[in-house]
């Protein structure tokens, strides 16, 4: 049975799962969630994912949410991008949790407020705070990638897949990626199966219901 992924093109968290599927060469079908017109807040979607979030991965009786869980499952299934030692497993977990809390949490929220909220609802001080937190997190990642091709060293792991989720959107929010991040982003782009999120998932450009 072909796996499905509830997703939409502007979601960096969805992109982590979709990119992992492509890099693992696993057949899958995207199911568009019309997030900007409220589809994630419907009772029908709540029956699929009680967290009212994307992505949601389904394969037969298996249903998973949270991008970190999905990419870990795919890594174990395909034996790709995973740890080779217990120390590496812990390091991958450390960077995945850091990404979820420090990098993705700030960039995703700040980008949403900056680009997708109606202008009258944008709180500039909150956006500035989130972009400041984003740049601090990017500085941490930039230092980590000094003299490293990937986060753990010479080969990509799910830590890279997690942390790269929003990196191809940086220019949309007027952030120029620092040199090490830019080179790392290009190395991931060169992996077989890579696609840009807007090409990989449905929903770009956004079509709003009452516009």
Q: CA dihedral defined by 102, 108, 114, 117, rounded to 10 degrees?
A: -130
* Residue 42 confidence (pLDDT): 97
The answer to whether residue 112 is domain-embedded is yes
Residue 47 lies in a domain: yes
Give the pLDDT confidence score for residue 210 in this predicted structure. Answer: 59
CATH code, 51: 3.40.30.10
Cis peptide before 60 (omega within 30 of 0): no
Does residue 17 lie within any of the structural domains?
yes
- Same-domain check for residues 76 and 90: no
Give the span between the Cα atoms of 188 and 81, in whole angstroms.
Answer: 12
Cα–Cα distance, 55 to 44 (Å, whole number): 15
Q: Is residue 139 part of a domain?
A: yes
**Statement to judge: residues 70 and 28 lie in one domain:** yes
Say which DSSP state 40 is in.
Answer: G
Q: What is the pLDDT of residues 140-197, one digit of tens each?
A: 999 999 999 999 999 999 999 999 999 999 999 999 999 999 999 999 999 999 999 9
Domain match, 185 and 101 both: yes
Residues in the chain: 211
Mean pLDDT estimate for the chain:
97
Residues 75 and 101 in one domain: no
Boundaries of domain holding 60: 3-80+195-200
DSSP conformation class of 177: P
CATH number at residue 106: 1.20.1050.10
How many domains does one find in the chain? Answer: 2
106 and 30 both lie in a single domain: no
């Amino acid at each position: 049975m072909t796996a499905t992924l509830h997703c939409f093109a502007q979601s960096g968290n969805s992109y982590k799962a979709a990119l992992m599927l492509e890099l693992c060469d696993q057949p899958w079908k995207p199911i568009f969630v019309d997030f900007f017109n409220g589809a994630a807040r419907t009772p029908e979607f709540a029956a699929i994912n009680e967290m009212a979030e994307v992505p949601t991965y389904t394969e037969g009786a298996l249903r998973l949410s949270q991008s970190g869980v999905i990419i870990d499952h795919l890594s174990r299934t395909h034996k790709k991008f995973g740890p080779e030692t217990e120390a590496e497993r812990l390091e991958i977990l450390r960077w995945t949790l850091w990404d979820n809390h420090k990098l993705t949490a700030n960039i995703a929220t700040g980008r949403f407020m900056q680009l997708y909220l109606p202008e009258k609802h944008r709180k500039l001080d909150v956006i500035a705070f989130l972009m400041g937190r984003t740049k601090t997190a990017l500085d941490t990642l930039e230092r980590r990638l000094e003299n490293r091709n990937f986060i753990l060293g010479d080969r990509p792991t799910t830590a890279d897949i997690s942390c790269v989720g929003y990196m191809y959107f940086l220019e949309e929010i007027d952030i120029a990626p620092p040199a090490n991040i830019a080179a790392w982003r290009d190395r991931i782009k060169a992996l077989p199966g890579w696609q840009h999120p807007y090409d990989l998932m449905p929903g770009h450009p956004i079509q709003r219901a009452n516009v």
